[in-house]
Amino acid sequence: MSDISIRYQTGEPQNLEKRFAARAAEMLPSEIRSLFAVASRPEIVSLAGGMPNLSALPMEMMAEVIKELILTNGSEALQYGSGQGHPKLREQICDVMALEGIRANPDDVVITTGSQQALDLISRIFIDPGDVVLVEAPSYVGALGTFRQYEASVVHVEMDNDGLVPDSLRAAIKSVRATGRKIKFLYLIPNYQNPTGVCLPADRRTEILSICRAEEIFVVEDNPYGLLGFDKPSPNAMRAEDSENVIYLGSFSKTIAPGLRVGWALVPQSLKDKLVISSESSILCPSNFTQLTISSYLADQPWRDQIASFCELYKVRRDAMLESLEQHFPAEAKWTKPGGGFYVWVNLPAEIDTKALMPKAIVAKVAYVPGSAFYADGLGSWSMRLSYCHPTPERIREGVKALGGVIKQEMSRRGTALT
């Protein structure tokens, strides 16, 4: 083990910071970064992370798939590949997307290092400093960070238990344009949204698409959880209804495994070349090895059954969380009832500052993500995201119980409890 205190300095210290580009000022650690170090201690029940639960993935089968891949096609799997992504996997991705009503051409698919990279590239292509990006309130912390690095101005649009509210979208567009700023796109997660877990119904999808088309704002539809519906399938993807004004982002991180880092963007034809060129400039090409691992898996293994196993596993955990929230959280708390995905969003009385509460939760051996992490504008202070994806149902119950106790104590300390 190297001693990380030794730095072996061989030159004069330089002030590199004064040479940074203007955008570097926006490269700030997210609120949840330091949290994860604490939350990953084994004695803490982490309701913080969004790591998929790989216990349902048959490792022996994965090992065989990959061994076969190297033995039969190693010289391709280990070589540089196409900047756009492997043609065979792009075809298979079209089959996966067909499950959500999308009819697509493999030539319009660009494979990326996780869908995060697609978000990065789309930001790079579209965002000039000061441009507005519309997002749900709250929204995915990783997207907020990327938009910030491209110096976008992020404007949140109200959600309710059915997701983004169309009238609020109309109002936001009007109000942003009244200030003379340019709106580049609407970013949203229609299925089992991160962080709220809510699902946008079909009629709202149609209405939002119609608003965006009329206003010449394109839609970035981020859909990592779409196949993880527990009770019924999710509505068709927005991309199914509009191939021209929607950029669709998909990922195998939640349906196969995130360690492979394979995601994709399905884009209107006119965007494809720019996206490929900017991806080549960013990473040269995505990994043939991880792409072909997924391609072999999709070709030879019962992947739909495997997704069904994941759904079963997450459903049990969702039920454990909702039940124990009923049991242990105060009556004043409200939370979402997700039909799929990984997350529950809890609103507490406004006096409770969930960020300030974290140290007490850690003492009680439970971790969550404070709501403010999911807002670019400082809101969310009385909310929290709870993930049920990773711990066992028993640990979830234990964690929710402990957290309920911490919250009740804080409420009684502040005199906000009803009783």
Residues 256-315 that bind its own copies (CB under 8 A): 257-261, 268-271, 273-274, 277-278, 280-290, 293
Site for its own copies contains 418 (CB under 8 A): no
User: What is the arrangement of strands in the sheet containing 343-347, beginning at the earlier edge strand?
Assistant: 334-335, 343-347, 383-387, 369-370
Across the strands, what pairs with 157?
A: 136
Q: Give the shortest CB-193-to-its own copies separation in angstroms.
A: 18
Unique residue bearing structure tokens 């340019």: 182
Two tokens at 254?
């939640």
- Residues in contact with its own copies, counted by CB under 8 A, come to a total of 108
Residues between 369 and 398 with contacts to its own copies, criterion CB under 8 A:
none
Q: Reduced to 3 states, what is the DSSP secondary structure of residue 313?
A: helix
Specify burial of residue 418 (Cβ count, 10 A radius: 0-12, 13-18, 19+): exposed
Residue number, 219 or 348, with CB nearest to its own copies: 219
Q: Which x/- pattern, by CB under 8 A, does the window 202-241 give for its own copies?
A: -------x---x--x-x---------------------xx
Residues between 127 and 186 with contacts to its own copies, criterion CB under 8 A:
127-128, 131, 142, 145-146, 149-150, 184
CA distances from 328 to 103, 133, 368, 391, 397 (A): 45, 38, 16, 18, 9
Q: Give the shortest CB-404-to-its own copies separation in angstroms.
A: 28
Q: Give the shortest CB-353-to-its own copies separation in angstroms.
A: 25
Q: Give the shortest CB-83-to-its own copies separation in angstroms.
A: 8
Across the strands, what pairs with 219?
A: 186, 246
CB-based contacts of 100: which residues, under 8 Å, 6+ apart? 223, 226, 227, 234, 236, 237, 240
Q: Using the rule CB under 8 A, which residue among 35, 45, 108, 204 binds its own copies?
A: 108
Count CA within 13 A, CB hemisphere, residue 87. Answer: 2
Q: Using the rule CB under 8 A, which residue among 85, 114, 163, 404 binds its own copies?
A: 114
Choose the stretch contacting its own copies; rule: CB under 8 A; options: 19-27, 159-167, 171-179, 302-310.
19-27
Residue number, 291 or 336, with CB nearest to its own copies: 291
Q: Using the rule CB under 8 A, which residue among 100, 136, 222, 242 binds its own copies?
A: 242
Residues between 38 and 97 with contacts to its own copies, criterion CB under 8 A:
51-52, 54-55, 57, 59-60, 62-64, 66-67, 70-71, 74-81, 91, 94
Q: Using the rule CB under 8 A, which residue among 246, 320, 373, 386 binds its own copies?
A: 246
Residue number, 149 or 193, with CB nearest to its own copies: 149
Residue number, 11 or 415, with CB nearest to its own copies: 11
In this structure, are residues 240 and 103 in contact, taking their beta carbons and an 8 Å threshold? yes
Q: Using the rule CB under 8 A, which residue among 56, 99, 124, 170 binds its own copies?
A: 124
The one-letter amino acid code at 83 reads G
Angstrom distance (rounded) from CA 156 to CA 133:
9
Count CA within 13 A, CB hemisphere, residue 279. Answer: 29
Residue number, 10 or 419, with CB nearest to its own copies: 10
- What region, left, alpha or beta, does residue 398 occupy, with left being phi > 0 and alpha being psi -120 to 50 degrees? alpha
The one-letter amino acid code at 292 reads L
What is the bridge-based pairing of β-strands 366-367 and 163-164?
A: unpaired
Q: Give the shortest CB-382-to-its own copies separation in angstroms.
A: 27
